Amino acid sequence: MKYITGRNVWPLAVSCWLLAACSSDGTNEQRAGSVLQVTPYITAYQNHDALSRRAGTVSLNYNIYSPTNDLAIGLFVLPPGTTQSDDVKLVRYNNGTWHSQIMVETLDYTICGYMPKKDPITATITATITQDASNMELHLNNIPAVIADDVCFVTGIKDGKMTDEGDLLQGNFTYGGNDDYNHICLLMDHLFASVKFNFSVDADYSELRIIKLKRMTLNTTKENVNAVIKLKSTNGTDPVTEITYSPSGSSSSATFFEDAVGIDIKTDAATIHDDYSCCFAPGLSNALTLVCVYDVYDRYGNKIREDCEATNKLPNLGAVRGECWTINLNVAPTYLGRLSEKDLDDPTITIN
């Protein structure tokens, strides 16, 4: 433990007096407020064959969001009188915990935002805020047209001080800040559609060869998308009034699954992993190509071919935002009759 000696007491007292004097005239006064803690929730994707639109006052199917990788949410926290902003506040997720960098005071804020907050995506917001309602336009620019991340935007917030969050309804964007404790729950919805894949290998072929999937990449004919999301304050109903997508550029790709060793594909159709899906702008539903990279082994575990590549143009999905398609893929040799050794080493991946 360190002690203050007698010769240090007087200078310290003078320093404290000078600091108090500076504070009294307001030139160095600390602002009140505290960190805004955030707990994000995300609505579930709807299967394309059982799609139900998000409307009405019923509770959504949502879950607390704990991503598998580090990422950041960008929030616009607008104090009274603010109608436009490009000042994005960060809530970062790493090491299994959300870390907020947002300070709020005892003011009534309007809050909106998106994820992921990362390059090259940029964002601005304009808002018409009245005492009883808000209308906002969230502009997201330079979103990759295909992206492994789940691009989402805030559709509602709720004061999170309650021990039971209860129904996290859409359409509320206001929050009254406090000096001592601030905690909100965010409800987020999907901006893009998504696709994932079930893989299987031909039963006869599996007796002779082992296929290990190493990489999946989704390609499309556009590079970036700008989106304008129009929102209004509601009391539990869908706050989205309109979303427009403006694609640009000539092509892009996103690798959404990668394993250096490869994962064995079995004879029964199975999703490689639910986390391995790729998102895309809904308007590009008829412009998607899947590229798979895999290795071929014989039944004794000897690698015969390495980094084989199969390219499949996907059918027109006709997807809408918040919709997830599952596509079945089958690994089979080029010929299904009596095969030569060369034929056996040339499997293809086809869409069922």
Domain ranges within the chain, ordered by starting residue: 34-190, 193-222+251-351
- Given this model, what pLDDT does residue 16 score? 32
For residues 105 and 100, what is the distance between their CA atoms, to the nearest angstrom?
15
**Which residues is 40 bridged to in the sheet?**
186
10-residue mean pLDDT profile of the chain (352 residues): values are 34 32 39 84 78 41 85 95 93 93 93 96 89 86 97 92 64 90 93 94 88 96 97 91 96 96 88 84 97 92 92 94 92 55 63 76
CA distance 175 to 77: 9
Topology given in CATH for the domain delimited by 193-222+251-351:
Immunoglobulin-like (2.60.40)
Q: How far apart are CA 212 and CA 198, in angstroms?
A: 14
Q: Are 47 and 326 contacting, i.e. CB atoms less than 8 angstroms apart?
A: yes
Q: Quote the pLDDT of residue 349.
A: 74
Spacing of C-alpha 284 from chain mean position = 19
- The pLDDT of residue 334: 62
Q: Give the pLDDT confidence score for residue 288 in this predicted structure.
A: 98
- The pLDDT of residue 23 is 36
What lies within 8 Å, CB to CB, of 195 at 6+ separation is 218, 277, 278, 280, 288, 314, 317, 319, 324, 325, 326, 327
3-state secondary structure 260-310: EEEEECCCCCEECCCCCCEEECHHHCCCEEEEEEEEEEECCCCEEEEEEEE
What's the pLDDT score for residue 59? 46
Residue 258's SS3 state is strand
pLDDT at 98 (0 to 100):
94
Residue-level pLDDT at 19: 33
pLDDT at 205: 87
Q: Report the predicted TM-score, pTM, of the whole model to 2 decimal places.
A: 0.83
Backbone φ and ψ of 340, nearest 5°: -85, 170
Give the closest residue to 122 by CA, choosing from 223, 226, 38. Answer: 226
CA distance 243 to 136: 12
Helix (H, G, I), strand (E, B), or coil: what is residue 11? Answer: helix
pLDDT at position 49: 54
How does DSSP assign 155-168, residue by residue?
EEEEETTSSS----
Around 178, how many Cα atoms within 13 Å sit in the side-chain half-sphere? 9
Nearest to 55 by CA among 231, 194, 321, 239: 239
